């Protein structure tokens, strides 16, 4: 029986994680649930799973949650600092971080320092501070188990292989809702169009990132740290059917691929049960249903964000932190219809040029960079709307 702390329980990954836990009550129990603003769903989850702790991020919702759970033994807290404090509780075995964006960094670091294994769905943690986080994990004997379908695929393909046998990895991308479209078309798209992902059901932020290919760019940076690779060992290929989740090419020229229907419950379950596999009732893939699997090169000129991410990885230092923060604000601006789809890339590139580069950043540098970039990005968006 593993005791799970689920950070971000009301989002897409969080709710699917609870489905996996619900179907395996003899293997998992919930110790901690957190949400930022969705108090109603958090309350419902808490009443079903009865964790020891519940944290609501938004302070003014504390009494709503507290009152709803007053007849239980659940301890209710509020604010991000409470997550960092509770994550070290001795009864927690594994922390699944499904928080969105930079917010996942600090609790993940706290959990690692407390010796908790991490099921990582928050790619921004490694995008921002990958070297630091992976070094901490080694120091504390902690496993970082990827939950992103692409990184889970690579992780599974590498099982039993020697690290120096890897020639390169190939991350697959669906291409999103605008695959094959040109700049003229992208200049007119609205948020409703960008939120229609062809294969996956995800939260708004990651869906927009998928449409702009920034999600794949962030995954490239995450993969560099997860699998200890150089930038030239990471390729991206567009695979519209989303059946092959990623591949590894070895130095003897052989290639391994992990395949399956696009369902996030599979990588979630694998991370929670690793190193074991357990039976489930998920839908099974059939070649008869997918007689044609196709592949194409990504269009880096039209979808600049993927090229931006590779550039940030080459630059190193706090540059990935800069593009992550700028992108979070740019996506927020697009969702609020303050900027256009293509202007998101403009905002990110402006921030890359204006924010001070630190080649050897420490933790405080990351926090300062994140804050400074967010302020600049918001100002750039305001100017575009003026």
Domain boundary among 98, 118, 146: 146
Domain membership of residue 241 (yes or no) is no
pLDDT in tens, 309-321: 999 999 999 999 9
82's tokens? 């409470």
The pLDDT value given to residue 102:
84
The pLDDT value given to residue 223:
97
319-335 and 363-385 helices, crossing angle to 10°: 40
d(CA 368, CA 160): 40
pLDDT in tens, 220-234: 999 999 999 999 999
pLDDT in tens, 230-267: 999 999 999 999 999 999 999 999 999 999 999 999 99
How many CB atoms sit inside 10 A of residue 31's CB?
Answer: 22
Statement: residue 83 has pLDDT above 70: yes
Given pLDDT bands bounded at 50, 70 and 90, which one contains residue 100? confident
| Sheet-wide strand order for 255-259 | 234-238, 166-173, 244-250, 255-259
pLDDT in tens, 22-54: 999 999 999 999 999 999 999 999 999 999 999
Domain membership of residue 292 (yes or no) is no
The answer to whether residues 120 and 140 touch, using CB atoms and an 8 Å cutoff, is no
pLDDT in tens, 321-343: 999 999 999 999 999 999 999 99
Statement: residue 356 has pLDDT above 80: yes
Domain boundary among 91, 114, 146: 146
Domain boundary among 146, 178, 201: 146
Domain membership of residue 106 (yes or no) is yes
* 14-18, 167-171, 189-193, 288-292: the lowest-pLDDT one: 189-193
DSSP for 125-181? HHHHHHHHHHHHHHHTT--EEE-SHHHHHHHHHTTT--GGGEEEEEEEE---TTTT-
Domain membership of residue 199 (yes or no) is no
Domain membership of residue 347 (yes or no) is yes
Its pTM stands at: 0.93
Cα 36 from chain centre: 16
Statement: residue 202 has pLDDT above 90: no
Query: What CATH number corresponds to the domain at position 97?
Result: 3.40.50.720
The pLDDT value given to residue 386:
60
Domain membership of residue 59 (yes or no) is yes
d(CA 310, CA 219): 10
The pLDDT value given to residue 200:
65
Query: What CATH number corresponds to the domain at position 372?
Result: 1.10.1740.10
When divided into structural domains, the chain yields a total of 2
Structural domain that includes position 362? 316-386
Given pLDDT bands bounded at 50, 70 and 90, which one contains residue 198? confident
Domain membership of residue 58 (yes or no) is yes
Per-residue pLDDT, averaged over 271-294, amounts to 95
pLDDT in tens, 101-141: 888 899 999 999 999 999 999 888 999 999 999 999 999 99
User: Residue 229: which residues within 8 A CB-CB, separation 6 or more?
Assistant: 166, 168, 169, 223
Statement: residue 199 has pLDDT above 90: no
Per-residue pLDDT, averaged over 148-176, amounts to 96
The pLDDT value given to residue 203:
78
Domain membership of residue 196 (yes or no) is no
């Amino acid at each position: 029986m593993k005791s799970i702390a689920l950070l971000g329980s009301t989002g897409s990954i969080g709710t699917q994680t609870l489905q996996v836990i619900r179907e395996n009550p003899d293997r998992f129990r919930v110790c901690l649930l957190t949400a930022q603003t969705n108090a109603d769903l958090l309350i419902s989850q808490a009443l079903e799973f009865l964790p020891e702790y519940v944290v609501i991020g938004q302070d003014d919702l504390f009494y709503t949650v507290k009152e709803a759970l007053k007849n239980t033994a659940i301890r209710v807290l509020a604010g991000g600092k409470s997550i960092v404090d509770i994550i070290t509780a001795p009864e927690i075995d594994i922390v699944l971080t499904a928080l969105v964006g930079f917010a996942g960094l600090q609790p993940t670091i706290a959990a690692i320092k407390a010796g908790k294994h991490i099921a990582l769905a928050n790619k921004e943690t490694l995008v921002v501070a990958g070297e630091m986080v992976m070094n901490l994990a080694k120091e504390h004997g902690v496993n970082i188990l990827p939950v992103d379908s692409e990184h889970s695929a690579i992780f599974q393909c590498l099982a039993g292989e020697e690290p120096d046998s890897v020639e390169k990895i190939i991350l697959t991308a669906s291409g999103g809702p605008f695959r094959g479209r040109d700049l003229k078309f992208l200049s007119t798209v609205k948020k409703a169009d960008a939120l229609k992902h062809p294969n996956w059901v995800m939260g708004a932020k990651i869906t927009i990132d998928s449409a702009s290919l920034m999600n794949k760019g962030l995954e490239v940076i995450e993969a560099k740290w997860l699998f200890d690779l150089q930038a030239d060992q990471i390729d991206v290929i567009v695979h519209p059917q989303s059946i092959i989740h990623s591949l590894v090419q070895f130095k003897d020229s052989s290639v391994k691929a992990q395949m399956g229907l696009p369902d996030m419950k599979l990588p979630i379950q694998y991370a929670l049960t690793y190193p074991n596999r357990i039976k489930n009732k998920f839908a099974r893939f059939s070649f008869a249903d997918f007689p044609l699997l196709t592949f194409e090169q990504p269009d880096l000129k039209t979808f600049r964000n993927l090229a931006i991410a590779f550039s940030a990885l080459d630059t190193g230092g706090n540059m990935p932190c800069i593009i992550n923060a700028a992108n979070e604000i740019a996506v927020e601006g697009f969702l609020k219809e303050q900027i256009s789809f293509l202007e998101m890339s403009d905002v990110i590139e402006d921030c890359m040029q204006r924010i001070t580069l630190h080649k050897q950043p420490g933790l405080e540098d990351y926090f300062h960079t994140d804050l400074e970039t967010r302020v600049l990005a918001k100002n750039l968006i305001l100017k575009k709307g003026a």
